[in-house]
Amino acid sequence: MLSEFEIIRRFFEQPARRPARGGRTPAGAVLGIGDDAALLRPSGDMELAVSTDLLVEGTHFRAGSAPRALGHKALAVNLSDLAAMGAAPRWATLAISLPSADEAWLREFAAGFFALAARFGVELVGGDTTRGPLCICVTIAGEVPAGLALLRGGAAPGDDIWVSGELGGAALALARPEYTEVAARLEQPEPRVELGERLRGIASAAIDVSDGLAGDLRHILERSRVGARVDYESIPRPAAFGRLGDPELEMRCVLAGGDDYELLFTAPQARRKELEALGAEIGLPLTRIGAIRLGDPSLMVFDAQGRPLPVTHGYDHFAA
Q: Which residues sit at the interface with ligand ADP, rule CB under 6 A? A: 8, 12, 33-36, 94, 96, 124, 126-129
Query: What does 129 bind: ligand ADP, Mg ion, none (CB cut-off 5 to 8 Å by kind)?
Result: ligand ADP
Q: In the bound complex, which residue of the shown chain has the CB atom lying closest to Mg ion?
A: 128
| Under rule CB under 5 A, residue 128 binds Mg ion | yes
CB 135 to Mg ion: min, Å: 15
Contact status, residue 174 vs residue 256, Cβ threshold 8 Å: no
Q: Which stretch binds Mg ion (CB under 5 A): 34-42, 50-58, 80-88, 123-131?
A: 123-131
Sole window of 38-46, 74-82, 93-101, 122-130 interacting with Mg ion (rule: CB under 5 A) = 122-130
CB of residue 102 to ligand ADP, shortest distance in Å = 14
Distance of CA 190 to the CA centre of its chain: 8
Q: Which is nearer to ligand ADP, 66 or 101 (CB)?
A: 101
Residue 35 or 248: which CB sits closer to Mg ion? 35
The stretch near Mg ion (CB under 5 A) out of 105-113, 128-136, 208-216, 273-281 is 128-136
Residue 128 beta carbon to Mg ion: minimum distance, rounded to whole angstroms: 4
Nearest distance from C-beta of residue 52 to ligand ADP, angstroms: 14
Which of these ranges, 121-129, 147-155, 236-244, 294-302, lies near Mg ion under the rule CB under 5 A? 121-129
Binding stretches for Mg ion (CB under 5 A): 128
